[in-house]
Amino acid sequence: MTLPQSGRTEGRRAPGRREALLALPGALWLIAFGVVPLGFLLVMSFWTSTIFGLSTDFTFDNYVTIFSDSVYLAILAKTLRVALITTTITLVLSYPVAYFLTGLSGRGKAICLLLLFMPFWSSYVVRTFLWLPMLGRNGLVNTVLMKLGIIDAPINALLYSEGTVHLGLFYVYSLFMILPIYLSLDRLDKRLVEAAADLGAGPIRAFWRVVLPLSMPGVVSGAVMVFLLACGAYVTPQLLGGTAGTMFGNIIAAQYLNTNNWPLGAALSILLVVVVLVGMFAIGRKAKLEEIFVGGRS
């Protein structure tokens, strides 16, 4: 079974050639505010910070610092691990929700979508902060567990651990996973599933062979979004991670907010961006980034 559009020939593109021009405003915007500033960051990563401001002499000092000090690389490795675990958790826990939403219709669907969006219209900052009163020593979870007699003393590990960071990231980023999966499931032709059933495939088999493959664009898109957001996480590890919480985003932030070493922050940022890009290439089977993001395109 293939996507309906995959059989389309390329021969018919001539009539709307001008349509390609529609991409221009967005492209210009992205170059002006995406490429150019990043290029500027790259340049700055070869500068150095002095007490009186920036020295613009070209030097590899920042990169030498990063690669000669195991601290930065260790945190980078940890950050990638946390991001990977978070992405996996988020994917596994979010997919059924997206699937559930697709099965609804009419008012029920509208209400559930609204219920899904509503918490995300409060604020990321508050929703992260809320895990403190939820999971703290005197928090809701510990209080309830103690009242029920399940535990005698508060569980310290609920808060300020790497697990808390996973939880916090899942909580604030699950929408980024659910929405693309939902959108790709929603435009999936239900008759394909029925056809599979008619051909004797059990529902589980039909899911694995038809539904899941056809929702892969959404899955990949969601997974990549969550992975990237987790790689750059700052607020969550800052508020919830405790001593186990330092991630690469915090180290970069420290260069701007605490230690005023912008060029080192720039070099660290470039490193992270490069690692993420390399990771994307490695994940994509054919090493084509765009296929990951609009997966399913033939």
Q: Residue 196 corresponds to which amino acid?
A: A
15: contact with other proteins by CB under 8 A: yes
16: contact with other proteins by CB under 8 A: yes
Tell me the C-alpha distance between 295 and 3, whole Å: 12
237: contact with other proteins by CB under 8 A: no
Radius of gyration of the chain (CA): 23
Task: Determine which residue in the list 66, 165, 169, 231 makes contact with other proteins, applying CB under 8 A.
Answer: 231
58 or 124: whose CB is closer to other proteins? 124
287: contact with other proteins by CB under 8 A: no
State in angstroms the smallest separation of the CB of 178 from other proteins.
9
Q: Residue 160 corresponds to which amino acid?
A: Y
Q: Is 53 helix (H, G, I), strand (E, B) or coil?
A: strand
16: number of Cβ within 10 Å: 9
278: contact with other proteins by CB under 8 A: no
Tell me the C-alpha distance between 220 and 290, whole Å: 11
The DSSP bridge partners found for residue 48 are 55
Cβ 80 vs Cβ 277: under 8 Å: no
Q: Which stretch binds other proteins (CB under 8 A): 55-63, 84-92, 104-112, 145-153?
A: 104-112
Q: Which stretch binds other proteins (CB under 8 A): 55-63, 84-92, 145-153, 255-263?
A: 255-263
92: contact with other proteins by CB under 8 A: no
119: contact with other proteins by CB under 8 A: yes
Tell me the C-alpha distance between 298 and 293, whole Å: 13
Q: Is 119 helix (H, G, I), strand (E, B) or coil?
A: helix
189: number of Cβ within 10 Å: 13
253: contact with other proteins by CB under 8 A: yes
Tell me the C-alpha distance between 243 and 237, whole Å: 9
262: contact with other proteins by CB under 8 A: yes
Write out the binding residues for other proteins, residues 27-56 only, by CB under 8 A: 27, 29-31, 33-38, 40-41, 44, 51-54
What backbone phi and psi angles, to 5 degrees, belong to 272? -65, -45
116: contact with other proteins by CB under 8 A: yes
52 or 285: whose CB is closer to other proteins? 52
58 or 77: whose CB is closer to other proteins? 77
Task: Determine which residue in the list 1, 64, 74, 287 makes contact with other proteins, applying CB under 8 A.
Answer: 74
13: contact with other proteins by CB under 8 A: yes
